[in-house]
Amino acid sequence: MQRPRVVDIHCHFYPQEYLHELASGRGAVSAQWSQGGEAIIHYAGDYNVVVPAHWDPEVRLQEMDREGVDLHVLSLTTPGVHIEEAQRGRDLARLVNSCFLELCRKFPDRFAALAAIPWQDPNAAADELRWAAKEGLAGVMLFSNINGNYPDHPDIAGVLQEAARLKMPVFLHPATPPDPAPYEVHRLVPLLGFPFDTTLAVVRLLFSGSWPANLRLIVAHLGGTIPYLAERLDRGWRAYGELYPKSRTMPSSLLAQLYYDTVNFAPEALRLALDFCGSQRLLFGSDYPHQIGSMAGALRAVHQLALLPTQRRQVLGENALHLLRMSLH
């Protein structure tokens, strides 16, 4: 029997050209290279250790083949281009997206990519979104907050409307919370700040009444805490009358229509999410090649779930291919 096709919706890539730009020291983010091919990217509240698999497609392909992963949907991870001055953000977005397109065209059956967007400039963000859609990028990357503004902010919500119109899936990835001070010990920015900020971003958009119709939203890290807190949001929606004028749909009903990646490697957590949204809304993800990510760990967690063969195929790849309107040969 042929094994299910595996599509990793949550994995990150830094084009070398982008890393060299960071190393130039001209912007808000710095990168320092070591002789071993690793780099450290420093930004407000946190840092990333960059290994060769972050920027070398050949290394990545070897590891994908070893783990049995067919397709990586590449995205530029934190800190994103939105923390830069507007013009530099625009330039970096186009640089990254052009590199992504080149890589996807070279390996069309192994790589797809999500566009980097200069969210700090709404007009430029919409322009880059339209360009990315025209050129064939698979979706767009949104961070949980854009320099302190959440997706319910009119500037961001307007670009999301355009993404919905273009039928471009939006991948919501966490960013450093606007006040990182409480998280700046014990690496708490990625451990706690990320899932909390993700939850805050989605719920603010939900209750704002500005949720775009037909928005295809993928929420990273199993939705932060959404599957766990959905019932509490429903209780609040019933109890707090001021929520009714803007949000007329029970929160859990709308939240269950979103897509969630499987970047929580505890089978118990994945089971909760399955009960919450169903196998049609879960997308395999690994957070590779970050220190905290693992293709092997992500696959092991999914295979530990008691799933029907059809459900396993959905989670491992079919849902992502359908959402991204792609096929694998």
Which positions are annotated as active-site residues? 287
Residue 130, classified by CB atoms within 10 Å of its CB into exposed (0-12), middle (13-18) or buried (19+), is middle
3-state class (DSSP) for residue 259: strand
Short-list 103, 68, 76, 73, CA closest to 8: 73
Contacts of 102 by beta carbon, 8 Å cutoff, 6+ apart = none
Task: Show the tokens assigned to 282.
Answer: 């879960």
> Do 72 and 111 meet the contact criterion of CB atoms below 8 Å apart?
yes
Q: State how far the Cα of 259 lies from the Cα of 17, in Å rounded to an integer.
A: 31
Task: For tokens 């907050």, name the residue.
Answer: 145
Check: CB of residue 13 under 8 Å from CB of residue 55. Answer: yes
CA atoms within a 13 Å half-sphere pointing along the CA-CB vector of 249: 15
Residue type, 190: P
